[in-house]
Amino acid sequence: AQTVTQSQPEMSVQEAETVTLSCTYDTSENNYYLFWYKQPPSRQMILVIRQEAYKQQNATENRFSVNFQKAAKSFSLKISDSQLGDTAMYFCAFMTENTGNQFYFGTGTSLTVIP
């Protein structure tokens, strides 16, 4: 079974500072995909960043980057220069083709950016 764990239910960060959200997962698969999704208050869930397990290089998207540690089964999200618009629920997700493109989500981390 695939499981995804986000151990930080709530976090806060000062505007312009850096914050790291943690995610660990458990799988016996070797080829899989990892995602971070963002759900702003009362708004649609959108993809922030994705990582293919076969790629050693950590993915980056502007102020968002990941620290992917395959051996440790860890996939943390770093947000640099935090902005008020980053306030949202963040979900880590895991997918493998062997389970039919099904996503497994963590329980989420509620991030508040403080002005």
Partner 1 sequence: DVKVTQSSRYLVKRTGEKVFLECVQDMDHENMFWYRQDPGLGLRLIYFSYDVKMKEKGDIPEGYSVSREKKERFSLILESASTNQTSMYLCASSSPGTSGSYEQYFGPGTRLTVT
Residue numbers at the binding site for partner 1 (CB under 8 A): 6, 9, 33, 35, 37, 43-47, 50, 91, 95, 100-103, 105-108
* Shortest CB 35 distance to partner 1, Å: 7
Closest to partner 1 by CB, 16 or 40: 40
Closest to partner 1 by CB, 93 or 113: 93
In three-state secondary structure terms, 90 is strand
Q: What does the alpha-carbon distance between residue 11 and residue 111 come to, in Å, rounded to a whole number?
A: 5
Q: What does the alpha-carbon distance between residue 81 and residue 53 come to, in Å, rounded to a whole number?
A: 27
* Shortest CB 13 distance to partner 1, Å: 21
* Shortest CB 107 distance to partner 1, Å: 4
Q: What does the alpha-carbon distance between residue 85 and residue 95 come to, in Å, rounded to a whole number?
A: 27
Q: What does the alpha-carbon distance between residue 24 and residue 14 come to, in Å, rounded to a whole number?
A: 25
